[in-house]
Each structure stands twice: as C-alpha cells, then as structure tokens.
Amino acid sequence: MNATRKDDHVRLAVAQHEGPHADRPSTFDDVRFVHHALAGTDRDRVDLTTTVAGRTWPVPLYINAMTGGTAATGRINRDLAIAARETGLPIATGSLSPYLKDPGTAETFTTVRRHHPDGFVMANLNANATPEQARRVVGLLEADALQIHLNSVQETVMPEGDRSFGHWPAAITAIAEAVGVPVIVKEVGFGLSGRTVAHLARLGVAAADVAGRGGTDFARIENGRRPEADYAYLEGWGLSTAEALLDARDSGLPLLASGGVRHPLDAVRALALGARAVGSSGPFLTTVTAGGPDALIARITTWIDQLTALMTLLGAPTPADLASCELLLTGALHEFCAQRGIR
Ligand code: FNR
C-alpha cells in the first residue's frame, strides 16, 4: 500500500507540473522590485554562498524532499543526487517512513548519500517519529540535518491518514534534543504561518521551511488517488510561499522558502522576503523524470546563472543583500499584509 502510494505521488505530482511554469499565476507576481537603473553591481562581485543550519551552502538553492521506498523512486533519488552533486546543491530525501517499516528499502534512500558523498544531505520524517527513529535515519544517510514535515492537511484528505496531531510539538522537541544534527521543520505545500514558526522557535529547531501553496498541491494529489475526491474543496488550502515568508518574518527562526518557485525571479523574490535559501521539488522532479540527470543539471545551471544575473542587476552581491532591496507588494499579497498587520 505504502509503496504504491510513493509511486502514485510521483505520477500525480509530475502531472501537476507538466507544461510551462512561467505563466502560472502566483502571489510571487505580487512582489515587484523597485527598479533602480544605477543600482547594478559587477557580476564577478556576486557571492552566492549562504548560511543554513550552521553550515555554508555554495548556492542558495536546494532540491527539496520527495521520494524513496520503491525501485522506481530509488532511481529518481539517484538521478536527483547526481544533479545535486554536479551543481553543488543540498538535497533532501523523501520521508524515510517506508524504510522504518521495511529496512529492505534502505538502498532507495542511501543512493542519495552514495551519489552525493560530500554534499549537504537532509533526511526526512514526519512528526510522529520517535527520537530513536530519527537517530536511525540520520545515521543511515550520514545526514547533515533532519527535516520534519508537518502535513495535517494531506493526512486529513487521505482516508487512511492520521487523525491525531496534538502530540507533534512535544515530539519535535524530543527529536531535536536527541538527534544530534540540526532539525528543520517544513510544511509540504500549505505554508507555515508566523505563529507556527514562533512556536517552532520554542521547540528547539534550527530553521523552518515555509513550503507554501502555489506549486505541488498534496490535497489534489491525494484526491487524485481515488475516484471519490471527497476533499476536493481543500485543494488550494493554505498560505502561499510569499504570504508565509511575510507572516513568519521576525518569528525567531531562520527561514527557508519552497513551494511554487517557478523560475529564478521567484527565487530572488523569496530571498528578498528574507529566506536564506530556496527549494524546489515538483519542477525538478518533472525535469529529471523527463530527461534524466543531464536535463536537471542543465536546468539548475541555468537557474544559478540567472540568479547571479538578477543579483547583479539588483546590486545585491550576496543573497542576504537582497533583503535590502526595495519592494512593492501589490494585489492579493498587499491585501494579505493589510489584514495581517504586516508593514
Ligand atoms: C513531496 N514533498 C514531500 N515533503 C516532505 O517533507 N516529505 C516527503 O516525503 C515529501 N514527498 C513529496 C513527494 C513528491 C512527489 C513531491 C512533488 C513533493 C513536498 C515537497 O518537499 C515540497 O514541500 C512541496 O512539493 C512544495 O514544493 P514544490 O513542489 O511546489 O516546489
């Protein structure tokens, strides 16, 4: 059952991401840079390095959590890891819960470490995990950090999903105290609010990945796995990535941004809204399943090149400098800020 589910997720996620990304409407379009024609710097002054969970990442981009647990998803993990290695990107595996249920699936996850031996690798589990399970998966991957995903919306849509979430805060604290590597808590595409991030800051985690709405929609994926689609009205639930970044700014944790990042300009916008780095899942998955590691290496190389170009024209030599750029927030995002009292 679980194995089929992992293959279903890939198939349905790829279907969501086929076609051009650039034209999809997004609240990222409500983030405009005030253009200053003399602000530009020199390309050779741009330094893409960023600091996350106490480590320096060579670029402010990463391949976010997706998969593992079946033969097919193991091959996807291998190809993602090759692309991460060739471009220097950090990478997260998908949830290791299939491994905890069946240790025979280990290789479908450890392939990531094998193909990216010196890279920043993140293991991933849900917030039901015990400290002992967290230590096991971190050890298996020699992981540099552990992502814990919060997915109450997805679980609710799944008939077989969890219905008890009240123990999550205590579980996160127990894991963070025991696991020995930084813990990064993330959503799976419904966004983390400022209140949630402030709560996480009190639980001992190192960073929060807001993983907002706008890209892969797990309500749609789970509805797509059965004919009834009982919770069709939950599709589109949550905070967009731009909304979540604004809501969670100054909530006490370093932020990572993912969810619906369509192109390098969205990545630059997310960095300008305060993210330390920007992750992508569905778009990179679609590229790697269609064209293998070479296609993903080409795409990421283009993203890095254009990120550098955009920072040059904006006069921001480092990712952190982007936070000083003057922004105009328009449309739905402006309305969101007004209602949330964000200035
Ligand atoms: C995911 N995502 C995810 N997240 C997580 O923390 N653990 C997981 O096991 C998975 N599994 C998974 C499978 C597939 C096929 C996809 C596409 C995504 C969620 C992912 O990390 C990310 O938060 C969202 O997909 C939003 O980013 P994109 O896809 O809009 O860039």
- 12-43 per-position pLDDT tens digit: 999 999 877 767 889 999 999 999 999 999 99
Annotated binding-site ranges = 5-6, 65-67, 95, 124, 154-155, 186, 216, 260-262, 281-282
Residue 260: closest CA among 245, 280, 244, 277: 280
Evaluate: CB of 9 within 6 angstroms of ligand 1: yes
Atom of ligand 1 nearest to the CA of 188: 23
Residue 252: closest CA among 293, 202, 288: 202
Band (2; pLDDT cuts 50, 70, 90): low
Three-state secondary-structure class, residue 309: helix
Residue 155: closest CA among 286, 5, 11: 5
Q: Exposed, middle or buried by CB within 10 Å (0-12, 13-18, 19+), for 132?
A: exposed
Evaluate: CB of 27 within 6 angstroms of ligand 1: no
Evaluate: CB of 66 within 6 angstroms of ligand 1: yes
Model confidence pLDDT, tens digit, residues 219-264: 999 999 988 878 999 999 999 999 999 999 999 999 999 999 999 9
Evaluate: CB of 68 within 6 angstroms of ligand 1: no
Annotated binding-site ranges for FMN = 65-67, 95, 124, 186, 216, 260-262, 281-282
Evaluate: CB of 67 within 6 angstroms of ligand 1: yes
**CA angle 201-96-259, nearest 5°?**
55
Pairing of strands 278-280, 61-63: parallel
Ligand 1 atom 14, closest CA: 66
Model confidence pLDDT, tens digit, residues 265-285: 999 999 999 999 999 999 999
Q: What percent of the chain has pLDDT over 90?
A: 95
CA distance 111 to 83: 13
Q: In this structure, what is the dihedral angle of CA atoms 19, 191, 142, 67, given to the nearest 10 degrees?
A: -40
In this model, does residue 1 exceed pLDDT 60?
no
- ipTM above threshold 0.95: yes
The two three-digit tokens of residue 32, written as one number? 């405009």
Atom of ligand 1 nearest to the CA of 16: 17
Q: How far is the CA of 230 from the centre of ligand 1 (A)?
A: 22
The two three-digit tokens of residue 303, written as one number? 């993203």
Evaluate: CB of 64 within 6 angstroms of ligand 1: yes
Cα 98 to Cα 94, 125, 162, distances in angstroms: 10, 10, 16
Annotated binding-site ranges for substrate = 5-6, 154
Angle between helices 131-141 and 107-115 (to 10 degrees): 50
CA distance 35 to 37: 6
Residue 242: closest CA among 213, 200, 262: 213
